Structure 1
């Protein structure tokens, strides 16, 4: 718990709430509470809104989201789950991915009121080669899983093909065994193992390609050229760090190894040259995009099983998205057509996978602070201009800077990009936004939780606080720097963990009584005007193009539609260049005269 939370008192919190109400903010009433298992570290909700999954100090539990009754649990002593995700695999069958405090990842299934351990992802066979799972993500529907693994300072990404159909048959077999009259309740079903679809390591320039002059690499090899430029850039960054810090240079070292990777699963989207080669099914990912810390490039890999005769061959990216600056953060739209990258020097680049080109490049006004995280607001207002024969939906982004300032970005092909400052850089560290999340079922609203424990819904258009979300005076938001919460999109409900306030404990040694607090947005009169129906499926209606020629025609038509806007941007840029050149010439003349 943060120092701000410890120093606060119930009276001061209620006084702050009253001041907020007087300034125009209202308070959203609490709908209910339920006691949580000891040390509940993480929460997740299934896409259909039926179940909640909880990771805690003795394993995990699955609750019914409407009644908050525990449907099943899987317990093991001295096992603490720190990360959990839940996705619906089939009717009454759900997959859960977890990471524990020792960095071990597991896959579970919740099926007919029972939890089954299906697989341990990174089994520790050798203590000297202990692998740690840094992140583990399941694709929606549970067809694939992606785990970032670290071992002895080396990091790589493993993408797994999950045998969902086979697991369903095995789960049905396990259920039938437990229903037998003479069954003791223990089932002996050996579940099928995971299979590695691809193992992705940080890209390297092939042997023989010198890094001293990356521009001398044959430009006809697009991939090799940008790899060489990227590695050379990282090498120069490390050398600058070396000279600035006065450290010792390790013999033979030319560049610093990437510390981590970020990945996103991608759904089918007609684009050249990658997606068109894959067999696509609605809702089934066809590729994964990856970027490594310190890199300028975003790589896309098709989800294909490694050849049996060449299992150790490192996969090459099918698509490379080069960027002028280092990538700091990323986000993918719900339909996965758009990929947004937050770059160094406060640049935001939105790539369009359908056309294979940037949708927009936006220069943020927050040049004094690096971009920290971003996300798409998929249910923002959509342009109603029907004048275009090939309409492009506007995309809306929520961008958070390291300084704590929050911006929105609205952009689209052929439209003027617009950035707006929602929240200025906080003067007090307690007002720093620990969590910002768009709420898909509330038009233009997003949830913000600050380090001081304050929680509210903000209007992204009018820049006003719509309402405060306040826990009872006996409790505080648990770990406000990293709150434990989840949104139930179907039930339009927020679940968040709160710990008992120290002032209300009978003794200082008494354990904090954690509660799961529920805020129902749908029943609130304050939020009625903002409630919208979220999309049921991430699929987006797109034009079908089979050949490269048709895809190129789409791109050229889009370019033709945006010619006026691009001409305005070019004219404005030349005007700024002329003014800058004139000012530089004047400064040079004054310096010469003096």
Structure 2
């Protein structure tokens, strides 16, 4: 009883900060997104999409269509005043929009339904930052594939400028039918057909290597997906996860490309549910034409020892992390082309569900200073436990349990997001609707965030929210608390709430200045093979202890396996 009383008293000392009511949301607002520059907030709802000023929360443009419900939205800036938006509706149709001169224009429908009997459904749709590329995972008649598009930005900008005067002359914008330049598919990726022996697990202690696939082995037939299992298992095994990769070193750039802008992706990496391999494909403006029934071969293949469960890349895409079965985390440095670390987080915890790199977090020891090669990774387990992994080439990897497994399933976190420009702070939303900010260094709750008593956080299992990094602001949807006197149509009572982290004195000690380029960390470029080889030799020298320890552990396991096998053989002989 005394312990429970102390715990309750400790909770009472944690301050509670109120979210401020910002504006009433359109009916059935399903998704929010902020532009990278913090200027605009885009909303997807049951009648289309809207664009609001992020500072004044005034609607500046709308694209409305009856019986069309947007369920996913993303936006990125093409130029100083033009933005690209990518959406998915409730029927699985993906679209590309442009916001230009206070108007929203529909540029392209990605998966047009030409045949009702062969209806394609877009599962995910992502725009690369800057809008040069887009990637959509498509399902049709039980088959799933990934299509990567190259967008004609120059043509679109020209057409948008020409459409402005025409719309001013027209009485109604709905009467306008501009023929926009279509995007082109630069690569179509299906689940790779690789030998079954190469799709299985490797030696447990073997770090995932990089192999160049320049043979025809990737075209070998394999057995199709297992459809005898449950529907969820089948869906998970068919889904794919992809990441756009920026230039990092000459080894990962198309050899025919002498120069490549730093902000343009050069490749896309893909892994498929239930598989052991991560594949990388170069994004060439002119792909080699191949027959329709022949799949493109991956340019780089990274096998892993266990099945891949989740993945993440840093904002500069130099580091790629994979979360594997049996609580293994693999981090690869694309700049050097070698594994940065392979670490077991927790052998007793549950499987990983998601992971995320965190920039500009402090090092926990006084003797070390944060370097460009040091990365911080958050790993969330299915049990609700949250771990942090700190890794650096040539140094011992450290892991830290940030949040223990909750005792009640209602306390499971549904959102774990680093708060922009606030060091060591996490925004956490739980399944029960509680929202708080956690100091992961001291393992303390800094404050609780709550809407007014008349409202609750909407759909806490999948909150509708957005974080504006420039303004250090949280936007989140809240629904009115059901009451007998309130109208049954609760969608009209949804409100947009916001909270300014930068305006509270409670967060002053955590504030960090905005870096010159938050998108790209500094990466090295090598003009000669000699420079690359020198770096390789330096990395090998730094990692000698790590590699020797891995060899010792491998021999130890081999000896243990040999002893177990010998005992089994002796037991069988005696019987």
TM-score w.r.t. the length of structure 2 is 0.87
CA contact (8 A) 1:211 1:231 kept: no
Q: Cα distance, 1:190 vs. partner?
A: 1.4
In the other structure, the counterpart of 2:302 is: 321
SS of structure 2 residue aligned to 1:526 = helix
Select the residue among 160, 165, 175 that pairs with 1:176.
165
- Taking the TM superposition and a 5 Å limit, the aligned residue runs for 1:118-517 are 118-180=107-169, 184-185=172-173, 186-205=175-194, 258-270=237-249, 272=251, 274=253, 277-278=256-257, 279-305=259-285, 307=287, 310=290, 312=292, 313-381=294-362, 392-503=372-483, 505-508=485-488, 511=491, 513-517=493-497
Q: Which moved more, 1:439-448 or 1:82-91?
A: 439-448
Change (3 A) 1:587 1:154: closer
CA contact (8 A) 1:198 1:305 kept: no
SS of structure 2 residue aligned to 1:73 = strand
In the other structure, the counterpart of 2:532 is: 551
Change (3 A) 1:427 1:213: closer
Q: Which moved more, 1:561-570 or 1:131-140?
A: 561-570
How far, CA to CA, are the matches of 1:507 and 1:379 in structure 2?
47
- Taking the TM superposition and a 5 Å limit, the aligned residue runs for 1:45-56 are 45-56=34-45
Change (3 A) 1:260 1:509: closer
In the other structure, the counterpart of 1:90 is: 79
Change (3 A) 1:351 1:165: same
CA contact (8 A) 1:71 1:113 kept: yes
How far, CA to CA, are the matches of 1:308 and 1:226 in structure 2?
19
Unaligned runs of 5+ in 2: 202-210
Change (3 A) 1:188 1:386: farther
Change (3 A) 1:129 1:230: closer
CA contact (8 A) 1:196 1:305 kept: no
- Taking the TM superposition and a 5 Å limit, the aligned residue runs for 1:71-110 are 71-110=60-99
In the other structure, the counterpart of 1:7 is: none
CA contact (8 A) 2:31 2:43 kept: yes
In the other structure, the counterpart of 2:521 is: 540
The aligned length equals 554
CA contact (8 A) 1:407 1:423 kept: yes
How far, CA to CA, are the matches of 2:76 and 2:446 in structure 1?
31
SS of structure 2 residue aligned to 1:146 = strand
CA RMSD of aligned residues (A): 3.7
Select the residue among 531, 540, 543 that pairs with 1:562.
543
Unaligned runs of 5+ in 1: 1-15, 248-254
Change (3 A) 1:471 1:285: same
Task: Determine if the alignment matches structure 1 residue 65 to structure 2 residue 54.
Answer: yes
How far, CA to CA, are the matches of 1:213 and 1:434 in structure 2?
32
SS of structure 2 residue aligned to 1:48 = coil
CA contact (8 A) 1:296 1:326 kept: yes
SS of structure 2 residue aligned to 1:300 = strand
SS of structure 2 residue aligned to 1:284 = coil
SS of structure 2 residue aligned to 1:355 = coil
How far, CA to CA, are the matches of 2:403 and 2:96 in structure 1?
39
SS of structure 1 residue aligned to 2:531 = helix
How far, CA to CA, are the matches of 1:117 and 1:440 in structure 2?
31
How far, CA to CA, are the matches of 2:446 and 2:288 in structure 1?
57
Change (3 A) 1:299 1:66: same
SS of structure 2 residue aligned to 1:522 = helix
Q: Which moved more, 1:375-384 or 1:329-338?
A: 375-384
How far, CA to CA, are the matches of 2:573 and 2:476 in structure 1?
65
Q: Cα distance, 1:120 vs. partner?
A: 0.4
Q: Cα distance, 1:231 vs. partner?
A: 5.5
CA contact (8 A) 2:47 2:64 kept: yes
SS of structure 2 residue aligned to 1:90 = coil
Q: Cα distance, 1:464 vs. partner?
A: 1.1
How far, CA to CA, are the matches of 1:504 and 1:423 in structure 2?
39
